[in-house]
Structure 1
Amino acid sequence: MTVTPAPLPDARPAVRLGVAFVPTTPPESLRSLAIAVEAAGLDDLWVWEDCFKQSGVASAAAALAWTERIHVGIGLMPAPLRSTALTAMEVATLGRMFPGRFVPAVGHGVQEWMGQAGVRVDSPLALLREHTEALRRLLAGDEVTTSGRYVTLDRVRLDWPAPDVPLVLGGVGPRSVALAGELGDGLVLANGRTTDEVRAAADAATDAALAAGRPVPDVYATLIAATGPGAQDRLDAELPLWGAQPGRGIGAAGDARTLADGVLRLAAAGASAVAVQPTVDEPDLAGFVELLGREVRPLLDQA
């Protein structure tokens, strides 16, 4: 069956709306979700690269191929797990194959997982800085020779660079957030953040960008959400899975108006885009995505 994407409204809201595909869902379910996100008229689909679950690059490539319009982001590729040259090759390839639609993000990765994989480093911040600086130059088409603490390249140049691909950084701590503002085109935040935490991170990234003479970065936030019967109980059960506690105003549970208000709160805190993350026990994922497009999206357009 061919699914025709819903037409986009003429006026776009101030915040992009998307869906987060988290690796608690099996990889084989991604195709139907990607198609549903596009059919619902949403903007973005974010895939994850959690160890040792799913490949972010493979997931993003497939989702981009199955769709024609939506942006697909990876949040995020752990710098210790991937060589800088390989990351540049993969990012440039997808950026050229799907121009204007791929949003890659790099970050530290979960340190426990990096230790399990045998790639944990003494200074994740130093690695991320070296990785990002070299990666940006490679994507721009430069020949790069560098010998840093962690990143070493000898006359590496991409045959097929992709200078227009945005380079987003992920982080939680203040120094990581500042680095995203200094070096990145955007900041992708972990899920399970309060509105105040999103605002503080957005402000810190903006301050760092302005101090470095760079444009204000986009900020990508996540709203964990549930709707339908037992929505609040399901949300309260979901939050601890991501290190968050109920009762702190994290996430949204209820009808379309409640979900839209949750998105708008994050937008008011500085988020440029919000990916809505359904709960692990979401009984009707296709219906959830359709609700976002049919009912939540118009409420954002009206705001």
Structure 2
Amino acid sequence: MVTLGCVVLPSNPPSRFVPLARAADAAGLEEVWLWEDCFRETGVAGAAGILGATSNLRVGVGVLPVPLRNVALTAMEIATLEGMFPGRFLPGIGHGVLDWMGQVGARAASPLTLLREYATALRALLAGERLTVSGRYISLDDVVLDWPPATAPRVLAAAQGPKTLRLVGEVADGVVITADTGLAGARDALVLIEEGRAAVGRTDPFHVVANVSAATGDDAVERLRRRVAEWGIDVSDDEKLAGYAIWGDAEEFAAGVRRFAEAGVDTVVVQPTDDDPDQEGLLRFLGEKVRPLVS
């Protein structure tokens, strides 16, 4: 069974986060996702506000950029939210946009090394381990969480390039796939992830989250075509567009979600266009009309 979620885009002001999340919760949508884009809302603060204002939603962050964050602080934040809202916070980590990391003096010379060290340490801290580590980027001296989660949440990681995808298979519990990856790209990504998992002998469960651009309304195709074209992708016909986006009535939407599920995606996160005229309406449509068809 595929899980259905939706992104609350960081282009929304902070004042819109809770109303949009409450609309999703009321509609029966399972998950809301946030991004920690520079220099907008922070993922952890936004997630905490939404978790406190809703009853059932799981809240994911896809993703927290690791160059910005000390791993011990991130572990403390995740453990705190897990302790307050058990099973409802879904943390993700990633390289971050390298230009943004450069703006704040945090760009890593080797993003792969940083992500490897960070994911390994973060998962260990959340599992309650006491760590002394001296790596290229991560340095911990006898660090252990006073309040580790009763059940450590899975740590997801974003990935696009082949090296990062293989690394995520090695060191993370799941992957967050960006919307510009598309359906065919998601299939290829999962092959690379499995190569990474096989290389270290991992057979434990692995969770796949994919962001997918989507829209409703009479101008949905036009808006989606403009959005996908911004990524430099040719979507001149509807068949090509369907490899990157979902639109239409509830049945057509559900069919689009199922296409990604059949490719191996566990959670489809609908990504509205920035110019969506009715975000609450989209959330109600997803929760009330689409979710019953894919659940």
1:239 maps onto 2:228 in alignment: yes
Rounded to whole Å, the distance in 2 between the matches of 1:101 and 1:262 is: 26
Larger relative CO (CA 8 A, sep 6+): 1 or 2?
2
* Aligned counterpart in structure 1 of residue 285 of structure 2, from 286, 291, 298: 291
**Which residue in 1 is equivalent to 2:211?**
222
Q: TM-score, normalised by structure 1?
A: 0.91
RMSD, aligned CA: 1.5
Rounded to whole Å, the distance in 2 between the matches of 1:245 and 1:83 is: 40
Aligned pairs (5 A) from 1:42-191: 42-162=29-149, 163-191=151-179
Query: Letter of the aligned partner of 1:146 in structure 2?
Result: V
**Which residue in 2 is equivalent to 1:11?**
none
1:205 maps onto 2:193 in alignment: yes
Moved more, 234-243 or 258-267: 234-243
Superposed displacement of residue 258, structure 1: 2.2
- Asked if 2 retains the 8 angstrom alpha-carbon contact of 1:223 and 1:262, the reply is no
**Which residue in 2 is equivalent to 1:26?**
13
Superposed displacement of residue 102, structure 1: 0.8
Superposed displacement of residue 281, structure 1: 1.5
Query: Letter of the aligned partner of 1:205 in structure 2?
Result: I
- Asked if 1 retains the 8 angstrom alpha-carbon contact of 2:75 and 2:126, the reply is yes
Query: Letter of the aligned partner of 2:116 in structure 1?
Result: R
1:112/1:233 CA distance change after superposition, 3 Å: same
1:91/1:47 CA distance change after superposition, 3 Å: same
Rounded to whole Å, the distance in 2 between the matches of 1:182 and 1:266 is: 23
Query: Letter of the aligned partner of 2:251 in structure 1?
Result: R
After the TM superposition, which segments of 4 or more aligned residues of structure 1 sit over 6 Å from their partners?
Answer: none
1:39 maps onto 2:33 in alignment: no
Rounded to whole Å, the distance in 1 between the matches of 2:95 and 2:48 is: 22
Identity of counterpart residues, as a percentage? 46
Rounded to whole Å, the distance in 1 between the matches of 2:168 and 2:111 is: 13
Rounded to whole Å, the distance in 1 between the matches of 2:229 and 2:116 is: 31
Helix, strand or coil at the partner of 2:51 = helix
Rounded to whole Å, the distance in 2 between the matches of 1:243 and 1:23 is: 22
**Which residue in 2 is equivalent to 1:255?**
249
> For 1:221-266, what per-residue CA distance to the aligned partner results, in whole angstroms no more than 9, with x for missing partners?
0121111111111111222455655343311232222221221111
Rounded to whole Å, the distance in 1 between the matches of 2:81 and 2:231 is: 29
Helix, strand or coil at the partner of 1:297 = helix
**Which residue in 2 is equivalent to 1:3?**
none
Moved more, 83-92 or 289-298: 289-298
Moved more, 122-131 or 287-296: 287-296
Superposed displacement of residue 210, structure 1: 4.0
Rounded to whole Å, the distance in 2 between the matches of 1:245 and 1:88 is: 41
What runs of 5+ residues in structure 2 fail to find an aligned partner? none
- Asked if 2 retains the 8 angstrom alpha-carbon contact of 1:209 and 1:216, the reply is no
- Asked if 2 retains the 8 angstrom alpha-carbon contact of 1:17 and 1:42, the reply is yes
Superposed displacement of residue 218, structure 1: 0.6
Rounded to whole Å, the distance in 2 between the matches of 1:214 and 1:74 is: 25
- Asked if 2 retains the 8 angstrom alpha-carbon contact of 1:202 and 1:271, the reply is no
- Asked if 2 retains the 8 angstrom alpha-carbon contact of 1:80 and 1:109, the reply is yes
Superposed displacement of residue 112, structure 1: 0.7
1:216/1:54 CA distance change after superposition, 3 Å: same
Helix, strand or coil at the partner of 1:194 = helix
Rounded to whole Å, the distance in 1 between the matches of 2:244 and 2:60 is: 22
Helix, strand or coil at the partner of 2:59 = strand
1:264 maps onto 2:262 in alignment: no
Superposed displacement of residue 209, structure 1: 2.4
Query: Letter of the aligned partner of 1:257 in structure 2?
Result: E
